[in-house]
Amino acid sequence: MADTDTLELLLRKLERHTPLPEADRRAVLALPAHGRSVPPATYLVREGEPPTSCVVLLSGFAFRHKIVESGARQIVSLHLPGDALDFQSLYLRYADHNAQTLTRADLAVVPIAAMRELVTTRPLVARAVLMDLLIEASILREWIVNIGRRNARARLAHLLCEFACRMDIIGLSEPDGYALPMTQEQIGDALGLTSVHVNRSIKALSQEGLITRKGRLIGFPHIKELREVGDFSELYLHLDEAIG
């Protein structure tokens, strides 16, 4: 994948909520980024290590996670193509979590120094980064709510709805559903459940006719009902936040 494609996608990400003036756009496109393709399960960030670069997902999926003392894993966020994986690394000395690819992925890798320089000298780029972080924090809050106060069936429905929404934003949604790029164990780790119980919950939603399945391809014949089951409202995704 050519480096220009790389930076186009980063730019699109930054401009999702607020357009940038031409000078800023050029500065973004002039970043010294390079592309890189990696297999599934590649570590992009390791807890406790100092960050080395800013990574943007061009294609493929990724997740962040932490391991607790018992050895259990909790996935704390999912990332889709276009997501900037590590604004964290901009100003924090050590990573507080791991990040790993879920699938094969193409990455844009930007040196931290260049990204810092950009954010420092371009207030509107800084604002775009800030907005992205605000929205990420909002999603984290909703995940806390999901895990803390909803039962397994609702949690799963909520995750499926969120993924559908986010796929939709970046134009990756098919008319009849999508392929969720996660094993049932990974879904469990994202929802604070065991894989066995995820399996039970999938079966439940399936038998109720709320989802259909062909392997990992999931269809949503009654999206309205599914959203109700998952108590899902996309407000927390702040989809339409353009500010003058």
Partner DNA sequence: CATATTGGGTAACTTATGTTGCCATACACT
Partner DNA sequence: AGTGTATGGCAACATAAGTTACCCAATATG
CB 110 within 8 A of CB 87: no
- Minimum CB distance to DNA smaller for 185 or for 228: 185
In this chain, which stretch among 32-40, 119-127, 165-173, 211-219 interacts with its own copies, using CB under 8 A? 119-127
For the CB of residue 235, give the shortest distance to DNA in the complex, in Å. Answer: 24
Yes or no: say if 56 and 110 are a contact pair by the CB < 8 Å rule: yes
User: Cβ(117)–Cβ(110) under 8 Å?
Assistant: no
| 191 forms part of the interface with its own copies (CB under 8 A) | yes
Taking CB under 7 A as the criterion, the residue among 183, 221, 235, 241 binding DNA is 183
Chain centre to alpha carbon of residue 143? 12
Contact between 192 and its own copies by CB under 8 A: the answer reads yes
- If one asks whether residue 215 binds its own copies (CB under 8 A), the answer comes out as no
Q: How far is the CB of 180 from DNA (least distance, A)?
A: 8
Residue 14 or 106 with smaller CB distance to its own copies = 14
Interface with DNA by CB under 7 A: which range of 28-36, 78-86, 88-96, 177-185?
177-185
Q: Among DNA, its own copies, none, what does residue 52 contact (CB within 5–8 Å per kind)?
A: none
To the nearest whole angstrom, how small is the minimum distance from the Cβ of residue 107 to DNA? 21
The length of the chain is 244
- Please report, as ranges, the residues that interact with DNA according to CB under 7 A: 151-153, 183-185, 188, 192-197, 199-200, 202-203, 213, 216
- Please report, as ranges, the residues that interact with its own copies according to CB under 8 A: 17, 47-48, 64, 66, 68-70, 72-74, 76-77, 87-88, 90-94, 96-97, 119-121, 123, 126-127, 129-131, 133-138, 140-145, 147-150, 191-192, 231, 235-236, 238, 240-241, 243
